[in-house]
Structure 1
Amino acid sequence: NGSRSTLYLMGDSNRTFSGTVDSIGFGVFPDDGGAQAAGLPKVARTINWVRVAQRFPVRIRVDKPDPDLFRIGASAVALIHAGQDEDSP
């Protein structure tokens, strides 16, 4: 928590946004089989090339979100810069 991040939205991949990691979850419930794990969120697979085993919830506080791009259902790629917290230069 507290690491800096860079975000790229699939709706406009030419722009980048900065943010700070607020929390990272442990995983998601596999909706295509597997054992049930209590407490994990169930997230439907909407992008076929992303495997459920590689998905886990990350909450990022975006510094200056564009309200036209950041909306429910938007997809993004987040790069987390481990070791760089919000107090780092």
Structure 2
Amino acid sequence: MKIVPTPIAQQIDRVDRQYSLAIGISTGLLAFWSIYRVIWSLYLAVSYNFIFGALVFPIVLWGVIGVVAAITSIGFFTRHLKGSATGLNETNQV
């Protein structure tokens, strides 16, 4: 099952392996930060039920940011683990 759509995966395949690792790590950290923000906002919404209306927007916003960051991270980690798209070792390319 492919999580990343094919046109986006083709664009990701153009990125160098080392850059894809750095992008994958940074977007993975952003996804975890978004999960933390959503959980914290839900905790505040449950604890202080009178401000729930004010927390709907941040919960939805950080949820969307987290999902996009997770999909991006999976795509770039897959690119890094897959290796070169040509099948050659990247250090031996001319």
Q: TM-score, normalised by structure 2?
A: 0.27
Larger-gyration structure (1/2): 2
More strand per residue: 1
Q: TM-score, normalised by structure 1?
A: 0.28
